[in-house]
Amino acid sequence: MEVKGTIANMNQPALILVSYGANGIAELPDGSRLDVSYRRSVGRPFCGDRVCIKAADGQTPLVSRILERRNEFARADARRRKQVIAANLDQVVIVISPRPEPSTDLVERYLVAVHSMGIRPVIVVNKVELMEKGMSHENGPLSHLNEYRDLGYEVLGTSCKGEPGTVTLQPLLADTTSILVGQSGVGKSSLVNALLPDHDLQTGALSRTTGKGTHTTTTTIMYNLPGGGKLIDSPGVWEYGLWKMELQELAHGFIDIEPWHGHCRFNDCRHSGEPGCAVADAVTQGKIMQWRYEAYRRLLDQSG
């Protein structure tokens, strides 16, 4: 990639589009891109990081500083520690589909995480043309779409193969920075492809394909949307794991449970069968949906 002479020997602001180990690709304010490398003393920036870069003549420019992050989107690693994937986001688009079908608590796991990180969640059901009327979906997220809407979440249907296409998603993504997350195979990269007229051009410049013939995404990459705004594609997961979290953080992630949290007989009530529990009362009175409460109890059991 061409290195612009103008950045030599001075600090210049840039945006990290993709990070590969000790180097990445940065976008300059004028839209041009260049390869950059990282120094251990400065740290490794994530996709979406705002940085300062500095170039010594004839060498790959270096990231000299990582600016303070507005927020971080993370998932848990195998040891249940937070692993950051991208930074400085406006929205996390949780993509689910009828095939592969999401596991029972997948959406709740994402919602808890996204609320905890202070980012706005959006739920997108891709491959809607495969949804059959009267399909039960066995109490999974697909059977609760109207209830997610009632809770106040934006829920959109899209298809990369049929009606209604992806135009419904465009206004939601315009002028914002959004990341697509979800299980492997739900169609995140297909959505990116459909939303970017110059997709191949951008992907060709940014991704290091393995040449193995698989289309599974292995790196988190930020793209420019045609009407303004940034869209990040991320590698799919099998199950979205949560890190170890405190009761407070978990309860905060259930926006229907949170108002009752702190109103129980015992200050340290975990809302798991204690006497005088305001959350359990609210469930009995129909103010909290039973299936949401059950999801909360399952995540609570796994949180410690």
Residues in contact with Zn ion by the rule CB under 5 A: 264, 269, 271, 277, 279
Q: What is the Cα 52 distance to its own chain's centre?
A: 25
Binding flag, residue 215, ligand GTP (CB under 6 A): yes
Print the binding letters for residues 154-173 with ligand GTP: x by CB under 6 A, - otherwise.
-----xxx------------
Residue 217 in the binding site for ligand GTP (CB under 6 A): yes
Of the pair 185, 259, the CB lying nearest ligand GTP is at 185
Q: Does 189 bind Mg ion (CB under 5 A)?
A: yes
CA gap 77, 189 in Å, rounded: 23
The answer to the question of residue 12 lying near Mg ion (CB under 5 A) is no
**CB count in 10 Å sphere of residue 109:** 25
How many Å apart are CA 225 and CA 202, to the nearest integer?
Answer: 10
Burial class (CB in 10 A: 0-12, 13-18, 19+), 304: exposed
CB closer to ligand GTP out of 190 and 202:
190
Q: Which DSSP state fits 301?
A: H
Please identify the residue of the shown chain whose CB is closest to the bound ligand GTP.
236
User: Is residue 186 a contact point for ligand GTP (CB under 6 A)?
Assistant: yes
183 binds Mg ion (CB under 5 A): no
Question: Does 98 sit near ligand GTP (CB under 6 A)?
Answer: no
Which residue lies nearer to ligand GTP by CB, 53 or 232?
232
Q: Is 97 in the site for Mg ion (CB under 5 A)?
A: no
Find the binder of ligand GTP among 157, 185, 241, 259 (CB under 6 A): 185
Verify binding: residue 236, ligand GTP, rule CB under 6 A. yes
CA distances from 243 to 74, 110, 233, 251, 253 (A): 9, 12, 22, 14, 13
CA distance 252 to 249: 5
Which of Zn ion, ligand GTP, Mg ion, none interacts with 126 (beta carbon under 5 to 8 A by kind)? Answer: ligand GTP
What tokens appear for 271 in the block?
A: 């809302």
Q: Does 190 bind ligand GTP (CB under 6 A)?
A: yes
How far apart are alpha carbons 116 and 138 in whole angstroms? 28
CB of 20 to ligand GTP, least distance (A): 17
Q: What is the CA radius of gyration of the chain?
A: 21
Which position among 32, 71, 104, 217 is part of the footprint of Mg ion (CB under 5 A)? 217
Q: Residue 123 forms beta bridges with which residues?
A: 94, 155
With b meaning 16 or more CB within 10 Å and e meaning fewer, what string describes 7-44?
beeeebebbbbbbeeebbbbbbeeeebbebebeeeeeb
| Segment near Mg ion (CB under 5 A); pick from 10-18, 97-105, 211-219, 221-229 | 211-219
Instruction: Kindly tell me which of 33 and 188 has the beta carbon lying closer to Mg ion.
Output: 188
Strand partners, 193: none
- In the bound state with ligand GTP, the residue whose beta carbon lies nearer, of 19 and 190, is 190
- Residues near ligand GTP, by CB under 6 A: 126-127, 129-130, 159-161, 184-190, 215-217, 235-236
